[in-house]
Amino acid sequence: MSPAVALRAVPDIPAPEPIASKGPALLRFITCGSVDDGKSTLIGRMLYEAQLVHDDLLDALARDSRKFGTQGDKLDLALLVDGLSAEREQGITIDVAYRYFATPRRSFIVADTPGHDQYTRNMATGASTADLAVILVDARKGVLPQTRRHSFIVSMLGVRHIVVAVNKMDLVGYQQAVFDGIVAQYREMAARLGFDAVTPIPISALEGENVARRSTAMPWYAGPSLFEHLETVEISASAAPGVRFRFPVQWVNRPNLDFRGFSGTVAGGVIRPGDEIAALPSGRPSRVRRIVTQGGDLDEAVAGQAVTLTLDDEIDVSRGDVIVAVGDGLTARKAFAGRLLWMSERSLGNGEEFQLRLASATAAARVSVLGAVDIHSFEPAAADGLGMNEIGLVTVALDRPVALTDYRGDRELGAFILVDRVTGDTVALGLVDAGAASLVRGADAVARRAGGTGPAAAVRRHLAEGLVAGWRAGLIEEASWRLLSGLGMAALTQAVLGDWRLTIAAGLLEALLRPALRFAHRKGWRALEQRRLARAAYDADGSGI
Amino acid sequence: MIQLTHLEKLEAEAIHIIRETVATCDNPVMLYSIGKDSAVLLHLALKAFYPGPLPFPVLHVDTTWKFREMIAFRDQRAKELGLDLIVHVNQEGVRAGVNPFVSGSRVHTDVMKTQALRQALDMHKFDAAFGGARRDEEKSRAKERVFSLRTAEHRWDPKSQRPEPWRLYNTRKRPGESFRVFPLSNWTEADVWDYVARENIPVVPLYFAAPRPVVVRDGALIMRDDDRMALRPGEVVETRMVRFRTLGCYPLTGAVESTAATLPEIIAEMRGSRSSERQGRIIDHDGAGSMEQKKQEGYF
Ligand SMILES: Nc1nc2c(ncn2[C@@H]2O[C@H](COP(=O)(O)OP(=O)(O)OP(=O)(O)O)[C@@H](O)[C@H]2O)c(=O)[nH]1
Ligand SMILES: [Mg+2]
């Protein structure tokens, strides 16, 4: 039997009943982790299981496997994904590959990222748009430095859902003890990274165990297969676009004297004709007249839609400006604090100048390095330059005001790249993070007070606080909700004791009241959180970088 | 509030990329290969600049071996839409008598497509060229950026591509350098057909099954589109119900037997298919890594 035929004999995925999808119809995820942990093999396996590998490609794979394969006579599924000749020759992934597949329940865009240190920039690129990360760990090796590095980057870029896929279980006799040990090790390491959910799954990418179907080789594992998890996981709103209307202007559409429209993609919120807006940085107000598309004018446009707006007044708006709802509170700034992932082979010196690109804006940017985070220990230390793949805490001074805000609250207006002005290379990706500056300023103050603990220790403390802050806010919200609903229930029970008819009424009330209360409560918290973020950004900025 | 569908998201992303190019490059052009991906790309570009006209010309690199129906379709669409259509033929190649039968697919593609494209881009000094390539087409394409930088010699260096995080596209380039821009990067073949159906986009009739004169050659069904294709001993032209999944030079494009004559039928057939879209493309099989190599040389 040819290898291709052998592989095809894998049982089909049981056809799942179509369920009302709770999350997005599309899930974007990445595979990451250390060198050779099996990321590409896993994606090859997933494509295969999703019936995406056509017969002619399977034949080509069988040929390639004989030539470059690492699995003897067997198919090397990684070769489905490692598409560059340099990758196939060396048996490693160099650049990120984007693949597309769908199961009856969801469609997926998956980015296969390289494990090698040297290509961390490509891993970060894949992570920047991901809703979820599958972090692979080789069952024989456990958590490696690169596992930590990737986990940190994924956390920094705002991915909140993690699957820890303990791979190559076939090589450790499918033992539960090995799996449990690695999971404990990972959880301890990730405790400070502020993930919403860490889901461990024992798999063998090579054999397909727990990938598309539940494994019979590991009866001790009762959880879902990887596919089941990816199909049903709910992605929390933190990754969703913000609620405020923000519209970076990409291009001014002026085909003739009678039409002047502003084209762009809505970054957050909703806009309707008649809404009052302001253009940043000028701050000039106007009102939306029309939302123009070729298919006809729209009554409203939401985040993600590419539209053209016309305004009531002839105010001056050009590419790089941001149209916001009046009262947004967003301001244009000439300086900010943030984090950088330095991606160039040449290192970054203090005070160097680059071109910054943020949403549709460009500006000249002078970068001061305050510190660097050691991504193996997660500890920040003083630094005045950055080497390739290092993460730095920086302040950035711009030659003109740009509308921007914290990445945590707005993925679009808080993310930027730095471009080398001579070579044109993309040398860094960055996040606006007001905390980064206070972190270092705070470090100085604390160090002075403590007299000798050194800035590194203080910076570490501040960093850790920053990482758990989001998690803490969630906890308080949950606790206060429990209290509130508990009190409500107590009052109702009291009433019920009096009369059975009241019991029914109370039951109905509880059923109707609870979701309404929950909704209002959540909304209130969100508004508070937004205000806190905005204030924090303002404070940090106001105290003069 | 409206929830965008998968197709609507892809559409918005493509429009965003097209606008970004026009806003940041001096002299863009749209490569128009007359196939379904080009049809979708053109449709999206018209949307991107509405109510204005298309702010760039459309370039067809004609190898002189395209199906006649493709050329007729191209000219008709250009007229209907008022396109600024540039047709470029590598006249040196024509004079040298390069053709797919005598020169072989590799030389033919190199001279009449890759070199021709480079000539046209240089001649008009285009600094950005839109193409309809998708990452799902081929495994080296899966690695390509949306804004793919080419040197002044039009070379692609797959090992040192610029990172492209979020949707922050770095459109900075040095004199002589140019971009190939791929707004459909994240689309699949199924998405393209679903969108063609949703938007009612006209496509070349060759995509739909019809009785056509074909010859079985080297295991492929080649349509004899004109009598420049000489028959080899033993070959007979037979009429079969066929259609094309991808369109290129007729001697290099294999047909598939099919009865799918409507869009829904095509979509159903594609979903059930066990072979990949580019299987019919003879040039893709000229050696392992051949697409990557052609791309390095300046092919799309
Ligand atoms: N036994 C066994 N081998 C595996 C498994 N998964 C992957 N491998 C092998 O591990 C080696 C590395 O696999 P890859 O998929 O290339 O690893 P990777 O993580 O993509 O590597 P980089 O991208 O270079 O970091 C190959 O020889 C695979 O065949 C598994 O579940 N079991
Ligand atoms: Mg790999």
Burial B73-82 (b: 16+ CB within 10 A, else e): bbeebbeeee
Residue whose tokens read 């937004």: A530
The pLDDT of residue A240? 58
Closest CA relative to residue A301, chosen from B278, B2, B42: B2
A-chain residues near B8 (CB < 8 A): 304-305
Residue B199 maps to a domain: no
Q: Are residues B126 and B148 in the same domain?
A: yes
Q: Are residues B188 and B208 in the same domain?
A: no
Q: Which residues of A touch B46 (CB under 8 A)?
A: 294
| Same-domain check for residues B188 and B260 | no
Q: Please state the ipTM of this predicted complex.
A: 0.90
Closest CA to B38 of B134, B131, B127, B114: B131
* B-proximal residues of A, 111-140, CB under 8 Å: 121-122, 124-125, 128-129
Could you give the angle at the alpha carbon of B134 between the alpha carbons of A251 and B271, nearest 5°? 125
Residue numbers of the domain that contains B93: 6-192+289-297
State whether B168 and B187 are in the same domain: yes
pLDDT score for A228 = 94
Statement to judge: residues B172 and B74 lie in one domain? yes
User: Is residue A36 within 6 Å of ligand 1 at its C-beta?
Assistant: yes
Q: Is B1 a domain residue?
A: no
Ligand 1 binding pocket includes A453 (Cβ within 6 Å): no
User: Cα separations (Å) of A289 from A254, A259, A282, A379?
Assistant: 16, 12, 19, 51
- Determine, yes or no, domain membership for B267: yes
Express each pLDDT in A225-260 by its tens digit: 999 999 999 886 555 566 789 999 999 999 998 999
- Global pTM reads 0.83
Residues B256 and B209 in one domain: yes
Q: Per CATH, which fold does A3-239 belong to?
A: Rossmann fold (3.40.50)
Between residues A417 and B299, which one has the greater pLDDT?
Answer: A417
**Quick check: bond before A281 cis, omega within 30?**
yes
Give the model's confidence band at A105: pLDDT under 50 very low, under 70 low, under 90 confident, else very high: confident
Contact between chains at B23 and A300 (C-beta distance less than 8 A): no
pLDDT at A500: 67
Taking the Cβ of residue A12 and every Cβ of chain B, the question of whether any pair is shorter than 8 Å is answered with no
Give Cα separations from A323 to A252, A315, A404, A431, B228 (angstroms): 13, 11, 12, 21, 59
Classify residue B140: in a domain, yes or no: yes
Residue in the structure block whose two tokens are 């839109």: B130
Say whether both B16 and B151 belong to one domain.
yes
Contact residues for A202 (Cβ-Cβ < 8 A; gap 6+): A139, A166, A169, A174, A179, A209, A210, A215, A218, A221
Task: Read off the pLDDT of residues B91-146 as tens digits, 9 standing for 90 and up.
Answer: 999 999 898 888 888 888 889 998 999 999 999 999 999 999 999 888 888 888 99
Average pLDDT for B65-86: 96
pLDDT of amino acid B278: 58
Give the model's confidence band at A473: pLDDT under 50 very low, under 70 low, under 90 confident, else very high.
very low
What angle, 0 to 180 degrees and rounded to 10, lies between the N-to-C axes of helices A145-156 and A176-190?
A: 50
Q: How many helices (H) and strands (E) does chain B have?
A: 9, 10
B175 touches chain A (CB under 8 A): no
The pLDDT of residue A444 is above 60: no
Report CA A45 to chain centroid distance, whole Å.
24
- Which CATH number does the domain housing residue B96 bear? 3.40.50.620
Q: Do A124 and B140 touch (CB under 8 A)?
A: no
CB contact under 8 A, A100 and B49: no
**CATH class of the domain at A246-325:** mainly beta
- B253 in the same domain as B139: no
Classify domain A331-449 at the CATH topology level: Elongation Factor Tu (Ef-tu); domain 3 (2.40.30)
| Whole-angstrom distance, CA of residue A519 vs CA of residue A524 | 9
| Cα dihedral A398/A402/A408/A412 (nearest 10) | -120
Contacting residues of B for A83, CB less than 8 Å apart: 138-143, 292
Do B148 and B214 fall into the same domain?
no
DSSP E strands in B66-116: the ranges are 85-88
Residues B185 and B217 in one domain: no
B108/B234 same-domain check: no
Distance in angstroms (rounded) separating the CA atoms of residues A443 and A337: 15
For chain A positions 327-366, those within 8 Å of chain B (CB to CB) are 343, 355, 357-360
Judge: A355–B172 Cβ closer than 8 Å, yes or no.
yes
- Binding residues of A for GTP are 33-40, 112-116, 167-170
**Could you read off the pLDDT of B254-263 as tens digits, one per residue?**
999 999 999 9
B293/B280 same-domain check: no
Question: Taking 80 as the threshold, does the pLDDT of residue B147 lie above it?
Answer: yes
Q: How many domains does chain B have?
A: 2
Share of chain A above pLDDT 70, in %: 75
Q: Please report whether residue B198 resides in a domain.
A: no
pLDDT at A482: 56
